[in-house]
């Protein structure tokens, strides 16, 4: 078998890349180790920057997002028991974010890929990239006990944090940067109307909380919890009680509770791999970097990597120039480090760290006060939150 680009991983990064390449006439095969249902069962963040919206449009997968997604012009910061609105729209000269779940993005991309008749091999086992430092890379895998080889021009490692592509990069050519946070987020999804029209990021003495949403009738809430917590110890009742304790009186009053559809604990991590290209293999999305979810940057970074990779590959196939693919790693990393900085900063600002003393809490509160009172402070938050322009 032969194709132009083998994409490893059918998460949002791999599916988006596959669709964009297809639109540009570049054939590709996606190898995914899990089933389609498993991929769709993962619940992740749900805030899209304009850059991501634009790429989904270009991929022809934006119809349902425009019909059902919720454009948001602001977010709320809750601290000292009060909520303060950050007007993203005004502060950024008319930008906004789109609230639309990653699961739905993935479903839409899967659908357009299936409609286009493109190959995705689900439940591909032992996927392994080879010879990517030569001009003849290939990828091997097993399906139903049969060994397959695909010869290709390029390999795109869109296989997430635990994927095989980064793990296959030569150890002496790769450097990683990492920060692990001493807490996790316990998330709950429920068919209840969101407590507020906009997202609430809450700084409280009991720890951080986030009120997010998927639609007018589906909510997503998070609580900061110690990493030692077990999800089995969190009944729905216990979750709702704790969330109420972290809200202001009005929101507490308005909160509609209900049975959970999903509940899980995710650790928080900052992680970057440099470089993101190894010969004819490129890393994109979570395969190359992780951000803590506080700034909602994970999916958006994956999308912008894919945007750069697609542009570079299109240029290569259409004009023979390797300028775009040569610049890929550097272009991505500039954007990634900005988002890493922002996500780390927002995480540090909003959470209760185990080693913090009263002084540290006062400093967090002073900074939050500065952000909401100062045009410069709130603009800095707003322009990072809606996403910095592509460089």
Interface ranges with ligand PHB (CB under 6 A): 45-47, 199, 210, 212, 220, 293-294, 296
Is 89 in the active site? no
The token pair at 186 is 């316990």
| 141 belongs to the catalytic site | no
Cβ atoms of 21 and 58 closer than 8 Å: no
Q: Is 126 a catalytic residue?
A: no
Nearer to ligand APR, 255 or 268 (CB): 268
**Least distance CB 191 / ligand APR (angstroms):** 22
> Are residues 186 and 225 in contact, defined by beta-carbon separation less than 8 angstroms?
yes
Minimum CB separation of residue 105 from ligand PHB in Å reads 12
Contacts of 373 (CB under 8 A, 6+ apart): none
Closest approach of ligand PHB to the CB of residue 172, in Å: 36
Residue 226 annotated to the active site: no
What's the closest the beta carbon of residue 334 comes to ligand APR, in angstroms? 18
Nearer to ligand PHB, 150 or 199 (CB): 199
Cross-sheet strand order for the sheet of 138-143: 125-130, 138-143, 146-151
Selection from ligand APR, ligand PHB, none that 47 binds (CB < 5 to 8 A by kind) is ligand PHB
Please identify, using beta-carbon distances, which residue of 121 and 245 lies nearer to ligand APR.
121
| Residue 299, contacted partner among ligand PHB, ligand APR, none, CB below 5-8 A by kind | ligand APR
Q: Which residues bind ligand APR (CB under 6 A)?
A: 8-14, 31-34, 39, 44-45, 102, 124, 127, 158-160, 162-164, 285-287, 298-299, 302
Q: Which is closer to ligand APR, CB of 212 or CB of 257?
A: 212
**Residue 72 among the catalytic residues:** yes
- In the set 289, 297, 308, 351, the catalytic residue is 297
Asked whether the CA dihedral 312, 139, 19, 278 is positive or negative, the reply is negative
Q: How far is the CB of 346 from ligand PHB (least distance, A)?
A: 8
Instruction: Give one DSSP letter per residue of 65-118, joined into a string.
Output: HHHH-EEESEEEEEETTEEEEEEHHHHTTS--EEE--HHHHHHHHHHHHHHTT-
Cβ distance to ligand PHB smaller for residue 201 or 310: 201
Q: How crowded is residue 141: how many other Cβ atoms within 10 Å of its Cβ? A: 21
Instruction: Answer with the entry of ligand PHB, ligand APR, none that 184 interacts with (C-beta below 5 to 8 A by kind).
Output: none
**Tokens for 212?**
């997010």
Q: State the binding partner of 285 from ligand PHB, ligand APR, none, CB within 5 to 8 A by kind.
A: ligand APR
CA 161 to chain centre: 12
Q: What angle do CA 96, 102, 105 make, to 5 degrees?
A: 90
Active-site residues, by number, are 72, 201, 293, 297, 385
């Amino acid at each position: 078998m032969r194709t132009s680009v083998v994409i490893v991983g059918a998460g949002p990064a791999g599916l988006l890349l596959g669709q964009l390449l297809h639109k540009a006439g570049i054939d590709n095969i996606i190898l995914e180790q899990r089933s389609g249902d498993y991929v769709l069962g993962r619940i992740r963040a749900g805030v899209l920057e304009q850059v991501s919206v634009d790429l989904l449009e270009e991929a022809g997968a934006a119809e349902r997002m425009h019909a059902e997604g919720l454009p948001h012009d602001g977010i709320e910061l809750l601290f000292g028991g009060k909520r303060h609105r950050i007007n993203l729209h005004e502060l950024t000269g008319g930008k906004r974010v789109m609230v639309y779940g990653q699961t739905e993005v993935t479903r839409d991309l899967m659908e357009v890929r299936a409609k286009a008749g493109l190959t995705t091999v689900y439940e591909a086992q032992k996927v392994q990239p080879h010879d990517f430092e030569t001009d003849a890379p290939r990828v091997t895998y097993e399906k139903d006990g049969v060994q397959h080889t695909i010869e290709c021009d390029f390999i795109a490692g869109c296989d997430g944090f635990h994927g095989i592509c980064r793990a296959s990069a030569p150890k002496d050519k790769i450097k990683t940067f990492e920060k692990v946070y001493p807490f996790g987020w316990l998330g709950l999804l429920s068919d209840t109307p969101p407590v507020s029209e906009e997202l609430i990021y809450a700084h409280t003495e009991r720890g951080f909380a986030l009120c997010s949403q998927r639609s007018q009738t589906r909510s997503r809430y998070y609580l900061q919890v110690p990493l030692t917590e077990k999800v089995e110890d969190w009944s729905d009742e216990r979750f709702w009680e704790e969330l109420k304790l972290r809200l202001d009186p009005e929101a507490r009053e308005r909160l509609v509770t209900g049975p959970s559809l999903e509940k899980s604990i995710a650790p928080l991590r900052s992680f970057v791999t440099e470089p993101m290209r190894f010969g004819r293999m490129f890393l994109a999305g979570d395969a190359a970097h992780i951000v803590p979810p506080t700034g909602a940057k994970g999916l958006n970074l994956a999308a912008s990597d894919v945007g750069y990779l697609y542009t570079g590959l299109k240029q290569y196939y259409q004009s023979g120039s390797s300028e775009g693919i040569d610049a890929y790693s550097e272009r991505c990393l500039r954007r990634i480090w900005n988002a890493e900085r922002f996500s780390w900063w927002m995480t540090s600002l909003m959470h209760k760290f185990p080693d913090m003393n009263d002084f540290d809490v006062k400093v967090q509160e002073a900074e939050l006060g500065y952000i909401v009172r100062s045009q410069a402070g709130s603009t800095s938050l707003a322009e990072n939150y809606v996403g910095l322009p592509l460089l």
